[in-house]
């Protein structure tokens, strides 16, 4: 394009606090995740094969604590580096070392930003594919409810490619349109969420179907931790529903007064959707599970309660049918379809938000010659990294093709994204500990204690994935294999690319220390 060769388009700052916050909230998307992840969480097992579904709520709480600890580090780094632009965490990693007065720190800057960039891409470039697979699963469930038939794997793969392309096109058109879309989606899904949660709680209290075998003995049993192992396993899945609060840091170039608005958006998005929405909706869902929830497992056997939630491709849809039929005069099917539509919108929003973040980090790295030049292209009219977007569209469709095969494939690609998340979040906490010592605003609590706790929590999650899934049953090991294949494959590609580009450019990965004059 002539525009790209001569004068790159200028990125305009159009987002305020609301715009930055709703873009992050779109990625968290509580209206989507209760529906799309409850099956994975209900089906989760300990290494000995026993169910850990009883620890869903407690696992979310642990993941939420981890997220808040990490969010503080992101907010603090965004406050001192408002000029980060598209770079986000990648930029933070480099500046944490370059800005140190002691020049011995400077030599680690390139290594820090490359490792951070690798983790960011494992998270941000796998996550959209996970969401595309969830969307295909949602469509498959609705198709089954409408026709009684089952969508073929081929049909779901084709749908995944089309949905990925649609989301990519919206991202290509620019972040302002994306922000309006995200705002509308957030309003719709939060209203639907409160409505369903109220119905679910009333269903348990009123017991219109005279259930006798509840999944939990009461409200306290829903929130009570039942085993440390169960909480850790559930947390490795629960982080998927909480990530996104940091995504607005990649929109600094498009945000007015980023020094003020970006840190606030990071915390606000997590408080609104993570703290209030998730703790309410997951409590309500667990509270209403009983033997009236029925499904067929992979062996063809009929199962009930939490076992049914783990066997159904959309247990929340099944719950919506139950409460609609028993509390709303038999409109269960209509209620399920209505909620499914809002879930579909929320999945679109979270996929779009992550694509926006992913391609901006890629663009920043390509500008630094740490990624292929192909990704270093800004569209002349829409001022979006359009080539990176279309590459990500293809990658997302390929990853989704793995996820639609089975619940094992879906869990495997989700774990790969979560693995990248924990590495990225842990590194960001560490960079916060590096960046602030020696600065006037240094605080022991905010810049040592909180980041250190965040780092330890993220390491604990990585160890949980590495250990608990490897020693688990056959399905858990297969899920771990998919996770490590994606993470390891990306690591190998990254190492090869960095090695080749470093040799060509003559840049050292770790700079030689400067001699004192």
Q: What is the pLDDT of residues 336-379, one digit of tens each?
A: 999 998 888 888 878 887 888 888 888 888 887 777 777 776 66
**H/E/C letters for each residue in 430-480?**
HHHHHHCCCCCCCCHHHHHHHHHHHHHHHHHHHHHHHHHCCCCCHHHHHHH
Question: Residue 104 carries which DSSP code?
Answer: G
Which distant-in-sequence residues (6+ apart) come within 8 Å of 342 by Cβ? 31, 188, 189, 192
pLDDT score of 380 = 60
Percent of the chain with pLDDT over 70: 90
d(CA 31, CA 278): 9
- Residue 402 belongs to a domain: yes
Bridge partners, residue 304, by sequence:
294
174 or 71, greater pLDDT: 71
d(CA 43, CA 55): 12
The CATH number for 436's domain is 1.20.1740.10
pLDDT digit string (tens) for 442-455? 999 999 999 999 99
Instruction: Kindly report the number of other CB atoms within 10 A of residue 109's CB atom.
Output: 19
- Residue 133 belongs to a domain: yes
What's the average model confidence in pLDDT over 477-506? 87
d(CA 187, CA 324): 22
- Residue 115 belongs to a domain: yes
pLDDT digit string (tens) for 297-340? 878 899 999 999 999 988 999 999 999 999 998 999 999 999 99
- Residue 149 belongs to a domain: yes
Query: Is pLDDT at 227 greater than 80 in this prediction?
Result: yes
Q: Are residues 306 and 215 in contact, defined by beta-carbon separation less than 8 angstroms?
A: yes
Bridge partners, residue 255, by sequence:
15
d(CA 71, CA 482): 28
- Residue 191 belongs to a domain: yes
pLDDT band for 517, please (50, 70, 90 cuts).
Answer: very low
By mean pLDDT, which of 140-149, 402-411, 445-454, 505-514 is the weakest?
505-514
d(CA 135, CA 139): 6
- Residue 311 belongs to a domain: yes
d(CA 85, CA 88): 7
Number of compact structural domains in the chain: 1
Question: Residue 302 carries which DSSP code?
Answer: E
d(CA 417, CA 406): 17
Bridge partners, residue 15, by sequence:
255
pLDDT score of 8 = 52
pLDDT digit string (tens) for 163-220? 999 999 888 876 555 567 667 777 787 788 889 999 999 999 999 999 999 999 999 9
Instruction: Kindly report the number of other CB atoms within 10 A of residue 99's CB atom.
Output: 17
Query: Is pLDDT at 44 greater than 70 in this prediction?
Result: yes
pLDDT digit string (tens) for 232-284? 999 988 887 887 777 777 667 677 888 788 888 888 888 877 777 778 888 99
- Residue 508 belongs to a domain: no
Q: Are residues 169 and 149 in contact, defined by beta-carbon separation less than 8 angstroms?
A: no
Range of the domain at 343: 14-501
Bridge partners, residue 214, by sequence:
290
- Residue 3 belongs to a domain: no
Mean pLDDT of the chain: 85
Tell me the whole-structure pTM to 2 decimals. Answer: 0.82
Q: Tell how far CA 236 is from the center of its chain.
A: 12
């Amino acid at each position: 394009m002539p525009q790209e060769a001569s004068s790159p388009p200028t990125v305009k700052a159009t987002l305020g606090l609301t715009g930055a916050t709703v873009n992050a909230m779109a990625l968290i998307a509580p209206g989507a995740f209760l529906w799309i992840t409850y099956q994975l969480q209900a089906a989760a097992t300990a290494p000995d094969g026993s169910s850990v579904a009883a620890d869903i709520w407690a696992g979310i709480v642990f993941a939420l604590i981890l997220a808040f600890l990490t969010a503080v580090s992101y907010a603090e780094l965004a406050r001192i580096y408002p000029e980060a632009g598209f770079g986000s965490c990648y930029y933070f990693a480099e500046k944490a070392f370059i800005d140190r007065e002691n020049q011995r720190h400077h030599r680690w800057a390139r290594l820090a930003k490359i490792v951070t960039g690798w983790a960011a891409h494992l998270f941000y470039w796998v996550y959209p594919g996970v969401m595309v697979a969830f969307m295909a699963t949602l469509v498959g469930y609705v198709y089954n409810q409408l026709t009684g038939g089952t969508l073929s794997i081929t049909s779901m793969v084709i749908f995944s490619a089309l949905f990925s392309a649609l989301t990519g096109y919206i991202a290509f058109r620019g972040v302002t349109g994306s922000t309006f879309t995200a705002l509308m989606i957030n309003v719709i899904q939060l209203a639907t969420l409160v409505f369903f949660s109220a119905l679910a709680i009333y269903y348990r209290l009123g017991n219109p179907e005279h259930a006798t075998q509840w999944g939990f003995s009461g409200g306290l049993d829903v929130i009570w931790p039942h085993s440390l192992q169960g909480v850790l396993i559930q947390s490795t899945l629960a982080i998927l529903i909480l990530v996104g609060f940091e995504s607005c840091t990649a929109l600094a170039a498009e945000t007015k007064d980023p020094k003020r608005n970006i840190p606030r958006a990071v915390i606000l998005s997590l408080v609104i959707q993570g703290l209030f929405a998730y703790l309410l909706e997951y409590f309500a869902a667990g509270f209403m599970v009983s033997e009236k929830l029925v499904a067929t497992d992979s062996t063809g056997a009929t199962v009930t309660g939490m076992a049914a939630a783990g066997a159904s491709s959309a247990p929340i849809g099944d719950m919506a049918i139950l409460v609609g039929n028993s509390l709303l005069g038999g409109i269960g099917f209509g209620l399920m379809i209505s909620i499914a539509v809002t879930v579909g919108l929320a999945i679109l929003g979270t996929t779009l938000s992550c694509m926006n973040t992913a391609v901006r980090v890629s663009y920043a790295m390509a500008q630094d010659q740490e990624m292929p030049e192909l990704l270093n292209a800004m569209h002349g009219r829409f001022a979006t990294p359009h080539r990176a977007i279309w590459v990500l569209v293809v990658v997302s469709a390929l990853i989704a093709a793995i996820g639609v095969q089975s619940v094992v494939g879906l869990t495997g690609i989700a774990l790969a994204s979560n693995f990248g998340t924990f590495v990225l979040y842990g590194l960001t906490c560490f960079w916060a500990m590096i960046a602030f010592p020696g600065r006037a605003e240094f605080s022991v609590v905010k810049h040592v204690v909180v980041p250190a706790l965040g780092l330890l929590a993220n390491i604990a999650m990585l160890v949980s994935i590495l250990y608990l899934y490897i020693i688990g049953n056959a399905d858990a090991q297969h899920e771990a294999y998919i996770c490590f294949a994606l993470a390891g494959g990306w690591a190998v590609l990254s190492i090869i690319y960095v090695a080749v580009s470093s040799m060509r450019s003559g840049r050292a990965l770790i700079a030689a220390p400067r001699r004192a004059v």
